[in-house]
Structure 1
Amino acid sequence: MRIAQIIESTSGGSVRCALALTQGLASKGEEVTFIYSPVRADSLFEEDLRNLKKCRKIAFSMQRAVGIHDLWSVVALYRLLKKTGPYDILHAHSSKAGALARLVGVFFPAMRVIYTPHAFVTMASGASRFYGLIEKVLSFFTDFIIVVSEGERKHASCDLGISEHRIKVIPNGVSLPFLATRGEARSRMGYSEKEKVVGFVGRLSSQKNPTRLVEAFALAAVEHKNLRLAVVGSGSLLEQLKKKAEIYGVSERIKIWEGQDARLFMSGFDVLFCSSDYEGLPLVFIEALQASIPIVSTPVGGTPECVLQGKTGFVAKDFETGSLAFALKSYLQLDVTACKEMAAAALRQGDFFTVRRMTASTLDFYRMAVEQS
């Protein structure tokens, strides 16, 4: 099959999944083209791109913000696909590439257009109904939508009204080696074994809700003097996080690393902490499980698959700060033996989420889509 993967984002879990899927398909002998936008590319993405083998890589500029420039992007993408195709499958990842690809797909009736949102923005509480309307309309220009968790499927079907026959659940997968042992990671971060390290990995954006992150940490820290928060990530709300930390008097207990590969740090965490408003199935959840790290999270998409309550971590009953702090304290109250048992259970749970499984499931689905055409 001739397959094109397209994505605008060059950071976060969505592009990591797209890259892993592209490599997996290419390794199986499929003819794969990876179309990406260089506009927001950073050094970490450029390194990942260099490591992508056995496929064609094409830079195609896309802007994250919505604007009149998107009309030109549709025309330019049409020309690109016309020049480099034909393709059997065009698989778009995340909202911007998803919108462009689905509009262009109208002009290629023989090509199956597949969209993976990697968490609909409409999953956020208070999200504008306008975005939901856009997703519903664009679904009619989509052959199939691959979602990464059951929670995302329910949202697409029940909340957005997208036809069930268009939706397929294929969980994310990752099989990346960690770059440091626990001891090495702790040394790099400057933590001793006596300190309890709560780790956050991700963009410091409104979706990740860094205010809730700091507030919940501060509530738990009152009772646990050896508690520390390690933040690996950057974003527009970094300064807000720092100010909140000052207000709650926990600045000295928080360390931040920007622009770093999280795999250098995660092995040193005791628990992964997620404060997000919404998610599809966060790649960082899978990475944590595969590193034997339990998870404490708000009840976002992906928690039913990854966080077995009391076994591989704890899920807050709702999105209130107090509830998230209570979930974290539930973990912190475990004794040494219970923590080791939870770490072992996390590792077992992580064995399901491999690139090999994700690639095989997606390829089977592609074949079905092409046969139906």
Structure 2
Amino acid sequence: MLDLAMGLVSRGHEVCLAYSPVRAEAGFLQRLRGLPGVTVMPVVMHREVSVEDFSAYSGLWRLAVEQGPFDILHSHSSKAGALLRSIPVPGARVYTPHAFRTMDPHTPPLAALVFGGVETLLARVATDCVIAVSAEEARHARTRLRVPASKLATIVNGVSSPGLRPRALVRSELGIDASDVLVGFVGRLCYQKYPELFLEAISRARKINPAIKGLMLGDGELFGAVEELCISLGLEEAVKLVRGQSAMDYFGGMDCLCMTSRYEAMPYVLLEALSVGLPIVSTRVGGTDEAVVPGVTGFLVESEAEAVAEAVLDLAGDALLRRRLSMGAVERAAAYTTESMVAKTEEVYLKSIGSKMVLSASSRPAA
């Protein structure tokens, strides 16, 4: 979202970015403060559905009135998408869910029916364009949520690749030996990202190869539970937990990235890792198979500790394999540029604004 905002500013657009200070992680806030030319507005919005959502709705409405009128109202994530698209103010509505909740195969049937019903209704009556970030998410939108094809666009996230900090420096700060194989996990510590599976896989892998170490970057509602699981698995010294830091600050010290999500569309961190040449071990979910090519950029596995551990062991025991997958990752990442993402999003904006103008003109009484 921050790269998109900066890209739009560089193309001459005015951008007002609303964010929730209670949901944002420290790394995001740090980058947010350094966005030149972007108006930044805090709106308190909690992750859980509660009566506090009425206050968030009021805050977004007030922002839209005081800072607007806007040509485009672009919402990201399901809750912000539902609230912002429901506000009765001018402007074309664009929505990027970044993985529909209904993509989780473990969602209870009643919850899936409710979430799916809301998404379908809003897509049909309060949205000019839904942006899917992977072909799989677009397919889900069409077939499961019945989003009209005319209102659907697929724009994969784009990344830039800044320089990495030296490997030796990162490892020295973490207390990781040069001979250790460091497996990274980056993401919010929550149900979707399934951090428990990562720990269970590292525990299994270390019984065969004790040189394997883990690094978990993230924060969230499961942080305490993750700490407790580390202790119960005897991983206090083998897995480092780091809160509120940028992944790019630590990628240089990693040997591979491990993603254990229950569901995804196209995670940004996956593309970041590819761009710096990190081999990937990922659960086979959502659009991950569009970026993770088995044997070329990494491995796709089932959502089981044994399967994840086996893939990690394969990488840990073969430096030449890691090097080959690293080259494949960089080559694959070249298709996912920030410039392409911004340009395609701008096209969606212009098309959405044009549709609004045509609709407005066609609804006027004939002279």
TM-score normalised over the length of structure 1: 0.88
Q: Deviations over 1:40-74 (max 9, x none)?
A: 44543332122111232223333333233433443
**Aligned-partner Cα distance in 1 for 2:129–2:344:** 14
Match of 1:22 in 2: 5
Equivalent residues of 2:25, 2:219 under 8 A apart: no
1:285 to 265, 270, 276: 270
Q: What is the aligned-residue RMSD (CA, Å)?
A: 1.9
Identity of aligned residues (%): 36
- Please show how residues 108-127 of structure 1 align to structure 2 within 5 Å: 108=90, 111-127=91-107
Matches for 1:258-337 after TM superposition, within 5 Å:
258-316=243-301, 318-334=302-318, 336-337=319-320
Is 1:356 matched up with 2:339?
A: yes
CA offsets 1:168-215 (integer angstroms, 9 cap, x no match): 110111215245122222222222221111111111111111221111
Partner of residue 134, structure 1: 118
Question: Hey, what does 2:171 align to over in structure 1?
Answer: 186
| Distance of aligned partners of 1:76 and 1:340 in 2 relative to their CA distance in 1, 3 Å threshold | closer
Equivalent in the alignment of 1:342: 325
Q: What CA distance in whole angstroms lies between the structure 1 residues aligned with 2:93 and 2:299? A: 37
Equivalent pairs, count: 351
- Corresponding letter in the other structure for 1:218: S
Structure 1 residues 213 and 42: alpha-carbon distance in aligned structure 2, compared to 1, 3 A threshold? closer
Q: Which runs of 5+ in 1 are unaligned?
A: 1-17
CA gap of 1:313–1:167, structure 2 versus 1, over 3 A, is same
Deviation at 1:159, TM superposition (A): 2.1
SS across alignment from 1:314: strand
* 1:100 and 2:57 aligned: no
Counterpart CA distance in 2 for 1:256 and 1:54 is: 34
Is 90-99 or 346-355 further displaced after alignment?
A: 346-355
Quote the Cα distance in structure 1 between the aligned partners of 2:221 and 2:55. Answer: 28
Q: Residues of 2 paired with 1:245 and 1:61: CA distance?
A: 32
Contact kept? 1:189, 1:265, Cα under 8 Å: no
Once the two structures are TM-superposed, the CA of residue 37 in structure 1 deviates from its matched residue by 2.6
Residues 77/330 of structure 1: CA separation in 2 closer, same or farther (3 Å cut):
same
Match of residue 89, structure 1, among 72, 81, 85: 72
Q: In structure 2, how many angstroms separate the alpha carbons of the residues matched to 1:80 and 1:205?
A: 29
**Deviations for 1:278-325, whole angstroms, at most 9, x for unmatched residues?**
112111111111111110010122312221111100000x22222222
What displacement does 1:163 show? 2.2
**Cα-to-partner distance string for 1:79-138 (whole Å, 9 max, x where unaligned):** 43233222221100112211111101x442xx2100001111222222122222221222
Cα pair 1:149 1:170 within 8 Å, conserved: yes
Separation of aligned partners in 1, 2:232 and 2:21: 38
Secondary structure at the counterpart of residue 216 of structure 1? helix
| Corresponding residue of 2:238 | 253
Unaligned runs of 5+ in 2: 357-367
Secondary structure of 2:237's aligned partner = helix
TM-score where L is the length of structure 2: 0.89
Could you say which residue in structure 2 is the equivalent of 1:11?
none
Q: 1:103 to 1:181 in 2, by over 3 A?
A: same
Shift of 1:26: 0.4
The answer (yes or no) to whether the contact 1:88–1:370 under 8 Å persists in 2 is yes
Contact 1:26 1:54 in 2 (8 A): yes
Q: Does 1:216 align with 2:188?
A: no
3-state SS of 1:197 partner: strand
Say which SS state the counterpart of residue 207 (structure 1) adopts.
Answer: coil
After superposition, the Cα gap between the structure-2 partners of 1:224 and 1:263, relative to the gap in structure 1 and judged at 3 Å, is same
Query: Does the CA-based 8 Å contact 1:149-1:281 persist in structure 2?
Result: yes
